[in-house]
Amino acid sequence: MESSTNNPARIAERALFYGWVPLFVLALWPYTVNPCEPPKLLFAAVLVLGCSVLAFFGPSARRGAGLGLLLALWLGWQTLCGLGSELPENSLWSLTAPTAWVLTALAARRAFADPDRAWRLAAVVVAALAAASLYGFAQLAGLDPFPWSSTATTEYRGLPSTFGHPNFAGHALVPGIILALALATRPRLRLPALAAALVMATHLWFTGMRGGPVALAAAMVLFGAWLAAGWLRGAGPGRVPLALLLTVLVGLAATGTALSAYRATHNTWLPVSDSSLVLRYNSAQGAARMVLDRPVMGVGPGNYEPLNAAWWTPFEQRWYALRGLRNDHVHCEFLEAGAEGGLPGLFLHFLLFSWALLAGLHLAGCGTTPALRQLGLAVALCAFAMGIDGLFGFNLHVPVSSGLFFVLLGMLDGVIGGLLPSHPVRRPIPAFAGMALGMVLAVAVLAGAIGHFRADRAALRDQSMLGQWSSSPTGGAERYSMQNALLQQLLLDCREFPADRRLAEFRGRVCLGAGHFGAAADAFSDALAKYPANPDTLADLAKALHGQAAGRAGMGDWPGAAFLLQRAESAAERGRELCPPLAAPHDALWRIADLRAEMARDLGNDDKPQDQRVLDEAHAALQAGVTDVVPVYRALARIALRGERRDEAAELIGHALDRAPDAPETWRLVEALSASAQDGSLLLDAVSRAYATLKRDHAEAPAFL
């Protein structure tokens, strides 16, 4: 019988892994919105497809420690939750990466069934991560040839390297440092491994990441507990539980001491001066409420981002309203697993780390050779550190750290399986069925990875064209030509990538700016079907529907206008409900109320209730900080004029003149006030200031003066 590890197919799989790891860690591509994730996912897809083909040749993998069943349950439950969610297409689209990691783990399980080869793969991982850290130091020295969109940011100064963000770098460096220190126990690798550990540790320090050092400290505690348990119990069966008990006790004591010391010096239990940390506390609170509201199946994988605004805390609402920023992930992997997969998903996520920890410690205690024992302990320490790191970040949603975690899982299970008796070369039918399923999944992963890559490339191109169109001078043949080219490109991209909501949003913005309100409403509705809890898109939809309603009202189609205004108000109210401090929904609501009041007057109805609604919504819009305040002042001035409150009208018209002295609509209000007011000096100062501004900015005053 041919050895499973020396079979040509297994040798080819190992060669794929050795070549894949450096490419995966170092891959960058400048022509996608995200320069890191799409190319890395594409390399992962190529790896799993190649390994899936090779799986048909030679003997199957030996029986391991149950990892295959656990991975099937983990991925299968996510698929079930996604199919039952309100956004199944988004969930299935987002399962591309988890499926790739599961197939990667199964391939590593087949290819690395003995400790020496596993150690070689660990050395390749460490070398690739050290090379990425050296690239980070080149960034620090200003020797970066990669065309990043901006290098004058805090994130770039944190050395994102080939990971795209300092925190993402830290997530991968944590297991890299542990593996490097483990490799240092092997005499021939001691010096290069220690040098690599020093390089990565320095890079981790430059990232400013807080969770990484905590995770490494936790791994040190487990390592010390393991040594202490060995001294107390020897290599007996009680060593693993004793080591875990000591780790928990030391961890609780250290956590309690740190919190008490912080409380004594800062008069609070947790840091609250750092707004990013406060945002994380609040996102964790919102995610916990998501778990409680959807405890069985959650909201579906990948659906935290498009749905989490419905669970925002007031702090998150203010953060989004003031900065336009939101958390795409919970900074806690376990909470996000519970939010997207319910309590069963949280349990399975916990089992992944628990399996790696317990299987690694068991191998560390029962291995027959030093290489086996050291490998088991190294993987256990990596899994424990990554689990602790996952309490403060989303390391399984980042390509390199998540990919390496599943490689370690598969490698550990393969080594454990290599210690068990091998099966015959001839496979039963279920084994062939499993390999066929793996091939189908690998093809689906490749298709999904290519789709992600191409959609991200299209989004970058369209985003660039949108920026050029937005900054071009208003009016003129050049802007019109640019607008038509952009709309044509967006239509093509929306058809080709229907699952990408960014393209629909881009199309909606262009149509809204061009006055194509019907097309804008359709585009924003399409974007909301993929990303329902987006208050800005809801406000944009309301504005597009308001523009449609104004057109219908101008043609005398009052029922049609009223129906569109009802839809617009519903969308704007939903946006305001999601984020009350945000200005955009308030801006849409006062415009809707103003058009309703105008329609009531045209129909001869009592417009006083409608005017009161305009007053309420306009003042709310001003309080929320709308950008375009001039139309708001004009609307309030018109209401004041109708109520013969001339002083109030004069003040509001003056505010409008000060901000936009060249607007003809404002000067018509000046004429209306002058015709109705006995004292013509009410607006004298404001008119003088406006006239002086216009004379300064124009060679001659506009025609309406």
pLDDT for residue 301: 96
Please check whether residue 359 is in contact with residue 412, taking contact to mean a CB–CB distance below 8 angstroms.
Answer: yes
pLDDT for residue 169: 96
Query: Terminus-to-terminus CA distance in the chain, angstroms?
Result: 98
Question: pTM, whole model, 2 decimals?
Answer: 0.91
- Has residue 60 got a pLDDT over 80? no
Burial of 474 (0-12, 13-18, 19+ CB in 10 A): exposed
Q: 17, 190, 119, 191: which is closest to 367 by C-alpha?
A: 119
Q: For the chain, what percent of residues have pLDDT higher than 90?
A: 69
Burial 484-515 (b: 16+ CB within 10 A, else e): eebbebbeebbeebeebbbbbbbbbbbbbebe
Please check whether residue 542 is in contact with residue 592, taking contact to mean a CB–CB distance below 8 angstroms.
Answer: yes
The residue with tokens 């660039």 is 464
Burial of 592 (0-12, 13-18, 19+ CB in 10 A): buried
Assigned token pair, 542: 């309301």
Distance of alpha carbon 375 from alpha carbon 408, whole angstroms: 10
pLDDT for residue 4: 58
Distance of alpha carbon 564 from alpha carbon 549, whole angstroms: 5
Strand (E) or helix (H) holding 616: helix 608-624
- Has residue 277 got a pLDDT over 90? no
Strand (E) or helix (H) holding 594: helix 583-602
- Has residue 663 got a pLDDT over 90? no
pLDDT for residue 658: 86
- Residue-wise pLDDT for 469-513, tens only, equals 888 877 777 888 889 999 999 999 999 999 899 999 999 999 999
Task: Categorize the per-residue pLDDT at 417 as very low, low, confident or very high, splitting at 50, 70 and 90.
Answer: confident
Q: What is the 3-state secondary structure (H, E, C) of 256-308?
A: HHHHHHHHHHHCCCCCCCCHHHHHHHHHHHHHHHHHHHCCCCCCCCCCHHHHH
Distance of alpha carbon 323 from alpha carbon 159, whole angstroms: 24
Q: 480, 536, 472: which is closest to 508 by C-alpha?
A: 536
pLDDT for residue 677: 62
- Residue-wise pLDDT for 27-51, tens only, equals 999 999 999 999 999 999 999 999 9
Please check whether residue 337 is in contact with residue 402, taking contact to mean a CB–CB distance below 8 angstroms.
Answer: no
pLDDT for residue 647: 84
- Has residue 422 got a pLDDT over 70? no
Distance of alpha carbon 577 from alpha carbon 637, whole angstroms: 28
Residues 6+ apart with CB under 8 A from 692: none
- Has residue 58 got a pLDDT over 90? no
Distance of alpha carbon 104 from alpha carbon 102, whole angstroms: 5
Burial 268-293 (b: 16+ CB within 10 A, else e): eeeeeeeeeebbbebbbbbbbbbbee
Average pLDDT over residues 217-236: 91
Distance of alpha carbon 297 from alpha carbon 85, whole angstroms: 8
Task: Categorize the per-residue pLDDT at 439 as very low, low, confident or very high, splitting at 50, 70 and 90.
Answer: very high
Please check whether residue 489 is in contact with residue 511, taking contact to mean a CB–CB distance below 8 angstroms.
Answer: no
Q: What is the full DSSP assignment across 679-693?
A: -TTTTHHHHHHHHHH
Radius of gyration of the chain (CA): 31
pLDDT for residue 274: 73
Q: For the chain, what percent of residues have pLDDT higher than 70?
A: 94
Distance of alpha carbon 10 from alpha carbon 359, whole angstroms: 23
Q: Which range is least confidently modeled, 165-179, 406-420, 542-556, 602-616? A: 602-616
pLDDT for residue 2: 42
Higher per-residue pLDDT: 334 or 8? 334
- Residue-wise pLDDT for 149-187, tens only, equals 888 888 899 999 999 999 999 999 999 999 999 999 988
Question: Chain-centre distance of CA 479, in angstroms?
Answer: 33
Task: Categorize the per-residue pLDDT at 95 as very low, low, confident or very high, splitting at 50, 70 and 90.
Answer: very high
Distance of alpha carbon 486 from alpha carbon 496, whole angstroms: 15
Average pLDDT of the chain is 90
Assigned token pair, 184: 């240092």
Which of the 8 DSSP states describes residue 163? G
- Residue-wise pLDDT for 278-302, tens only, equals 888 899 999 999 999 999 999 999 9
pLDDT for residue 5: 65
